[in-house]
């Protein structure tokens, strides 16, 4: 009887340790992905558009990490980069709304419209090399769905973060023409 209790205790302890290691590993993978995405894989001909892309990826990555204060700062930098691109005044205002949002949920709602505009911008950009991935989560925005851009094919969902990190799929790729 005591042997069964000891064995049961060991099994529970091992399972607990392995779950904690998985959680730590997932946090590390998210952090690693954020640092990889922030350094743009795609090379865009226009420097101002390149800066928009880089700052957009940073914002996407901090939303994946559910980091509200970092998203405020990243959105502010993106708004500044967008202000340097002709015709992007409304998109810069959307980035400003993310920067001024009261909470993460509000930031993610504004990120939907912002992403649509940035995807449209990137579809018309001259990409020298690399690939931009247009990704989609059907569950975002209470089931309405939402798109975003990513530098990597692996889905890292900015609308749900850890809740549903890999929810979504690649819908399109943009690259050199």
The answer to whether the beta carbons of residues 30 and 64 sit under 8 Å apart is yes
Helices (H) and strands (E) in the chain, counts: 6, 5
Q: Any residues with CB less than 8 A from the CB of 60 and at least 6 apart, and which?
A: 37, 111, 148, 149, 150, 158
Every domain of the chain and the residues it spans: 33-175
- CB-based burial label for 75 (10 Å; 0-12, 13-18, 19+): buried
What 106-109 contacts at long range (C-beta under 8 Å, 24+ apart), as own/partner pairs, is 107/63, 107/68, 107/71, 107/72, 107/75, 108/63, 108/140, 108/158, 108/159, 109/141
pTM of the predicted structure, to 2 decimals: 0.77
Cα 23 to Cα 5, 19, 74, 158: the distances in Å are 27, 6, 26, 18
Instruction: Return d(Cα 38, Cα 54) in angstroms, integer.
Output: 6
Instruction: Return d(Cα 29, Cα 21) in angstroms, integer.
Output: 12
**Would you write out the chain's pLDDT as a tens digit for each of its 177 residues?**
443 433 333 333 333 333 333 333 333 333 333 433 344 479 999 999 999 999 999 999 999 999 999 999 999 999 999 999 999 999 999 999 999 999 999 999 999 999 999 999 999 999 999 999 999 999 998 889 999 999 999 999 999 988 888 889 999 999 877
């Amino acid at each position: 009887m005591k042997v069964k209790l000891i064995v049961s205790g060991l099994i529970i302890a091992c399972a607990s340790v392995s779950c904690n290691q998985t959680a730590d590993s997932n946090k590390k993978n998210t952090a690693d992905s954020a640092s990889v995405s922030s350094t743009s894989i795609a090379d865009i001909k226009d420097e101002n558009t390149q800066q928009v892309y880089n700052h957009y990826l940073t914002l996407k990555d901090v939303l994946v990490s559910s980091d509200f204060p970092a998203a405020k700062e990243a959105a502010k930098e993106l708004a500044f980069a967008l202000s340097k691109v002709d015709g992007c005044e409304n998109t810069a205002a959307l980035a400003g709304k993310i920067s001024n949002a009261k909470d993460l949920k509000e930031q993610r709602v504004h990120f939907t419209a912002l992403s649509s505009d940035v995807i449209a911008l990137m579809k018309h950009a001259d990409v020298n090399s690399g690939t931009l991935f247009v990704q989609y989560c059907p569950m975002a925005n209470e089931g309405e769905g939402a798109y975003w851009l990513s530098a990597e094919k692996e889905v890292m969902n900015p609308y749900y973060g850890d809740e549903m990190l890999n929810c979504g799929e690649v819908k399109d790729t943009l690259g050199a023409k």
